[in-house]
Structure 1
Amino acid sequence: MGLAELPLAYPELLLSLACFLFLFLRLGRHRSSLPRNWPLLGMFPGLLCQLHRFHDWITDLLAESGCTFLFKGPWLSGMNMLVTADPANVNHIFNASFANYPKGEEFLEIFDILGDGIFNADHDSWKSQRRAAHALISDHGFRRFVAATSRDKVERGLLPLLARAAEERSAVDLQDIFLRLSFDATCKQVFGVDLGCLSPGLPVVPFARAMDDAEEVLFFRHTVPRGFWKLLRWLRAGEEKKMVIAWETIDSFIQTRVSKKMEEVSKAREENKEDEEMAPADLLTSYLNRRAGVVDVAVESKKFLRDTTVNLMLAGRDTIASALTWFSWVISQHPHVEHKILDELRAILAKRTATDQVSSPENPVIFDAEDLSPAVYLHAALYESLRLFPPVPFEHKSALRPDVLPSGHRVDPKTKIFFSLYAMGRIEGVWGEDCCEFKPERWISDRGRLKHEPSYRFLSFNSGPRTCLGKDMAFTQMKVAAAAMVYNFCIKLVEGHVVAPKLSIILHMKNGLRVRVENRSP
């Protein structure tokens, strides 16, 4: 087939698949959740039929198969994968045999837009980047900076916007608001600039739109044969054309921000300013200054700075926004949980002066991170929301050497292992008969303290050596925003609005979260 004929193959392939699926739906239905293994095509038709409910289908599949299932893709497609939500397998791969299970070349190829950043890195590169990131993120000055940034964005951005929505009695997309909140906060923490995405009028943010598009394409790459999406990438067609445009937008934004920051740091060095005089204390400035000699990589490399900041922006913007969105929805569906959080917040405010306790549209109550240390029930409710709606709903790895998992399944270097965090929170064998219930109490001990759950059961912040470095900071930002919103406002879902997961590598809502906001009575 000549090069000129290649574009014609795309619609012809889709037509062939459509005909096959028609026959499959008419003749091939069976009651089991397990997909039928067809000649040549494997279980791929079953995947296509269930793609609209991908995460719930994977949950049903794993529940029926005993937490681990071998998915067979089309012949020679490279889509064979071992799907698991078995905590014993997770512990083995993420902890006990960590060295044998890197991200792998295929992971790097799928997530190429992240470059050589920490999410893609393996071996010595990963160790070096993690050591540098840990030193900078664990710095007390930076943690104070994060807490101050979080409070400031809630006070000057989130609460005024929600107050306007309550006054105008207009419906708003709470997911969009949280994405803007976390984008502004992350830009401040990474680049030292506030882009004002929560300002009146809600300005368009091309970078944010590009990130959403890129995440959708990354999900698409997981659901089709490897050769197919690589062909589309080469042709710059279909979903992969969207990736090209998104990549250009992301790189343009990052390049602008990195260049400006390098100029600022260079000018400060020429003027012999001390580190303390340089503001703000953002991560990019810290990398460029290589404080205390902790960064042992060539930070002057613009590629390193580009890859590092893209990874940080993805981690900061999307995961926190997703967590707050699902938390807000699930709280709106469980008034008794909302009331318990309110009682806890009122008890915390009782220790303040009388003038600090009263909430009004003109003077909303704002909580500092330190105020919320005793907010055990709020913390438990966030944990429970993350258990059922993990911001990163799946992950995958591959083995360097042949191995046998605790479940008895054999793996080799050609085996892709797919972990469903979404399914793990909904499997009775992992969390008990009430696994699908939203129940913050499961995280609280008889003594009223937070319970510890092994990370290989609660995988929202990863497990083992790759455990999320920003976990504590993420909770600081989430608790400050959630407490202020719940205490000052009542959130009600717009009637008829459908809540469903979006097909993306981040668990966003497909239709956003349309709500009406009401001022809460003092």
Structure 2
Amino acid sequence: MPNAHHYLFVLYFIDAKFRYPSEKYIRKTLKRNISGQASVHHGIALAFGRSYLTSHIPFRLNPFCATSAWSIDFGSGNICSFILIPPCSRIKIQGQTPSLHQLLHFNTLSDYQTSLAKKHRTYRLIMPLHSEIYTTDPANVEYILKTNFPNYGRGAHIEIMRDLFGDGIFAVDGEKWRHQRKLASYEFSTRVLREYSSAVFRDNATKLVAKVSTAAVANRAMDLQDLFMKSALDSIFKVGFGVELNALSGSDEFANRFTKAFDDSNFIVFRRYVDMFWKVKRFFNIGLEAALKRNVKIIDDFIFDLIRCKREQMENEKLVREKEDILSRFLMESKRDPENMNDRYLRDIILNFMIAGKDTSAGTLTWFFYMLHKHPLVQDKVVHEIRDATQAKDNICAEELSRLMTDDVLDRMHYLHAAITETLRLYPAVPTDGKMSVEDDVLPDGVEVKKGEGINYMAYAMGRMTYIWGEDAVEYRPERWLDEDGIFRPESPFKFTAFQAGPRICLGKEFAYRQMKIMAAVLLYLFKFRLVDETKEATYRTMFTLHMADGLHVYAFPRT
């Protein structure tokens, strides 16, 4: 073991929002901790660490493997810690990087990962207690998602997500996953659900037009992302659970509380991936973990009440097999297997359907409209195609236009489909997805994977790799998805991973495209949009799904 003078002390001090606090706040926290909750030597080490960090240590450190001491500010739920870092500058390990870097780049994490991936198609992230592999290599992606699928499950990711997602399809492996996959696969393939969902999407597109039209008449700015999120949530509640949530109208106070609790919980759970002390915070019920607990209770109360009401409704109406919404059909299944499909299990299924149905379509539409603003020629082509496909009259109303959006009409919109897909290539709904190795393995590119090691494929970074998409990889060019006749041409799902691939490929892919195309076609036919701030570049909020930070604020004008 190296001598003590071979180590550097680095302060690891993060508040509940992952900001480095002021000197005054640190002194106050140290005083509180030293007098009550923490030992004196921790306080001295923290003070020394802070002093050394600000005056001597650059943030560009090589991988650390260290022991750490920590103390908790019980007043705010913040974590103070010092880390002993061996001087690894003399050790050159290609394709390895410390987890501290990810923390420092948290707000632009996907772009930071992309910059690393441009140097190393596959690299290893070194953490104090374990390591994670990150890759953009399509051969590796195919291997973990399909070829050796049984060896790569959710693993430790299950524990991180369980408080929110429970035993839902996105958070489980094995028999629970197979059971839900089988049920969901059957439901999504039914003609009844397809026709019912299309009617819901068209109806909610009409409601969205009314909201946009009101703002346009008043020359009032609106947040398109917020409108898309609420409209998508209304759609998933109607299709999934047979109830009118009225999130878009904002008329239901309980629905508004539920929506905020769900979005905040999603954000908090994701932060667990970069907060090594989340279990400590959860144990003491402090900081973001305390907020998560409150939010999950709001979510549970809302969903359990929904299940109870739906069950009572079905008993009163004596509904039969042809009931259209997904929850009713799952409730009928639960009668055949009440022990396994209890209310808690149904709650988990519902929540997982929600994140799939809401965030993919709403987030993608937000980035899609932003990209159309940045590329007006693409927007002109999309609008021209919509007019040709629908053959609608110039003065058509929103309700009539929505009714024209049949499957046949949507199938003729190849350029719109390509433009949405190009948006997903650059701004995938899930920027990074992770698995865990069950046994030791070797990836196709020769990287060794240890049992229990995490492995992540980066959809956001993959969309920007020139070795995958060519020298124009970072350019928004829908034409790359069309053949010589202008017909949409799909790519390998291991190259374009927006909807996963292999046995876990997204069952709702076709539903998501249909919803997005209906919403986009109706809005673009009727309105032009202009950004409130033309100089502002859109950025994302780092979480499970790629939301646009601060929303997409626009003015709308009737298209003439």
Fold conserved between structures, TM > 0.5: yes
Q: Pairwise mapping of residues 483-494 of structure 1 onto structure 2 (< 5 A)?
A: 483-494=521-532
- Whether 1:60 and 2:135 are equivalent positions in the alignment is no
> Could you tell me which residue of structure 2 aligns to residue 501 of structure 1?
540
> Could you tell me which residue of structure 2 aligns to residue 513 of structure 1?
552
Whether the aligned pair in 2 keeps the contact of 1:365 and 1:488 (CA below 8 Å) is: no
Q: TM-score, normalised by structure 2?
A: 0.83
The 1:364/1:169 distance shift into structure 2, 3 A limit, reads farther
> Could you tell me which residue of structure 1 aligns to residue 489 of structure 2?
451
Q: Separation in 2 of the partners of 1:380 and 1:468?
A: 19
> Could you tell me which residue of structure 2 aligns to residue 249 of structure 1?
298
> Could you tell me which residue of structure 1 aligns to residue 229 of structure 2?
179
CA shift at 1:144, angstroms? 0.5
Q: Separation in 2 of the partners of 1:205 and 1:383?
A: 31
The 1:403/1:179 distance shift into structure 2, 3 A limit, reads same
CA shift at 1:202, angstroms? 9.1
Deviations along 1:55-84, one digit per CA (max 9) or x if unpaired, are 10000011112x11111113x3x3x11111
The 1:21/1:282 distance shift into structure 2, 3 A limit, reads farther
Deviations along 1:350-394, one digit per CA (max 9) or x if unpaired, are 3xxxxx422467877334132211000000000000000011111
> Could you tell me which residue of structure 2 aligns to residue 332 of structure 1?
373
> Could you tell me which residue of structure 2 aligns to residue 308 of structure 1?
349
Q: Pairwise mapping of residues 467-478 of structure 1 onto structure 2 (< 5 A)?
A: 467-478=505-516
Q: Pairwise mapping of residues 74-89 of structure 1 onto structure 2 (< 5 A)?
A: 74=128, 76=129, 78=130, 80-89=131-140
> Could you tell me which residue of structure 1 aligns to residue 166 of structure 2?
115
* Residue of structure 1 aligned with 2:448, choices 406, 410, 414: 410
* Residue of structure 1 aligned with 2:259, choices 205, 208, 211: 208
> Could you tell me which residue of structure 2 aligns to residue 357 of structure 1?
393
Whether the aligned pair in 2 keeps the contact of 1:455 and 1:463 (CA below 8 Å) is: yes
Which amino acid is the alignment partner of residue 311 of structure 1? N
- Whether 1:99 and 2:125 are equivalent positions in the alignment is no
CA shift at 1:267, angstroms? 2.2
Q: Separation in 1 of the partners of 2:329 and 2:237?
A: 14
Q: Percent identity?
A: 32
Please identify, of 165-174 and 203-212, the stretch whose mean Cα deviation from structure 2 is larger.
Answer: 203-212
Q: Separation in 2 of the partners of 1:4 and 1:154?
A: 58
The 1:94/1:73 distance shift into structure 2, 3 A limit, reads same
Whether the aligned pair in 1 keeps the contact of 2:113 and 2:461 (CA below 8 Å) is: yes
Q: Separation in 2 of the partners of 1:15 and 1:470?
A: 52
Please identify, of 198-207 and 85-94, the stretch whose mean Cα deviation from structure 2 is larger.
Answer: 198-207
> Could you tell me which residue of structure 2 aligns to residue 237 of structure 1?
286
Whether the aligned pair in 2 keeps the contact of 1:361 and 1:519 (CA below 8 Å) is: no
Q: Separation in 1 of the partners of 2:505 and 2:465?
A: 22
Which amino acid is the alignment partner of residue 401 of structure 1? E
Please identify, of 413-422 and 165-174, the stretch whose mean Cα deviation from structure 2 is larger.
Answer: 413-422
Q: Separation in 1 of the partners of 2:400 and 2:423?
A: 25
The 1:163/1:37 distance shift into structure 2, 3 A limit, reads same
The 1:229/1:337 distance shift into structure 2, 3 A limit, reads same
- Whether 1:217 and 2:271 are equivalent positions in the alignment is no
Whether the aligned pair in 2 keeps the contact of 1:359 and 1:488 (CA below 8 Å) is: no
> Could you tell me which residue of structure 1 aligns to residue 331 of structure 2?
288
- Whether 1:422 and 2:473 are equivalent positions in the alignment is no
Whether the aligned pair in 2 keeps the contact of 1:100 and 1:400 (CA below 8 Å) is: yes
The 1:10/1:81 distance shift into structure 2, 3 A limit, reads farther
Deviations along 1:487-514, one digit per CA (max 9) or x if unpaired, are 1111111124441110211100111111
Unmatched runs of 5 consecutive residues or more in structure 2 = 1-32, 67-82, 86-97
CA shift at 1:485, angstroms? 1.0
Whether the aligned pair in 1 keeps the contact of 2:526 and 2:559 (CA below 8 Å) is: yes
RMSD of aligned C-alpha atoms? 2.7
> Could you tell me which residue of structure 2 aligns to residue 462 of structure 1?
500
The 1:194/1:91 distance shift into structure 2, 3 A limit, reads same
Unmatched runs of 5 consecutive residues or more in structure 1 = 351-355
- For residue 556 of structure 2, give the secondary structure of its aligned residue in structure 1: strand
- Whether 1:131 and 2:196 are equivalent positions in the alignment is no
The 1:18/1:164 distance shift into structure 2, 3 A limit, reads farther
- For residue 284 of structure 1, give the secondary structure of its aligned residue in structure 2: helix
Whether the aligned pair in 1 keeps the contact of 2:154 and 2:434 (CA below 8 Å) is: yes
The 1:241/1:63 distance shift into structure 2, 3 A limit, reads same
Q: Which has the higher contact order (CA 8 A, sep 6+)?
A: 1
CA shift at 1:128, angstroms? 1.3
- Whether 1:380 and 2:403 are equivalent positions in the alignment is no
Which amino acid is the alignment partner of residue 541 of structure 2? K
CA shift at 1:296, angstroms? 6.2
Which amino acid is the alignment partner of residue 238 of structure 1? G
* Residue of structure 1 aligned with 2:406, choices 360, 365, 369: 369
- For residue 331 of structure 1, give the secondary structure of its aligned residue in structure 2: helix
Deviations along 1:264-284, one digit per CA (max 9) or x if unpaired, are 122233xxx5444x5xx1101
The 1:301/1:15 distance shift into structure 2, 3 A limit, reads farther
Greater strand share, 1 or 2?
Answer: 2
The 1:364/1:234 distance shift into structure 2, 3 A limit, reads same
Number of equivalenced pairs: 494
- For residue 500 of structure 2, give the secondary structure of its aligned residue in structure 1: coil
Deviations along 1:6-53, one digit per CA (max 9) or x if unpaired, are 699999999787656535xx75366xxxx6224625723322322221
Q: Separation in 2 of the partners of 1:20 and 1:484?
A: 59
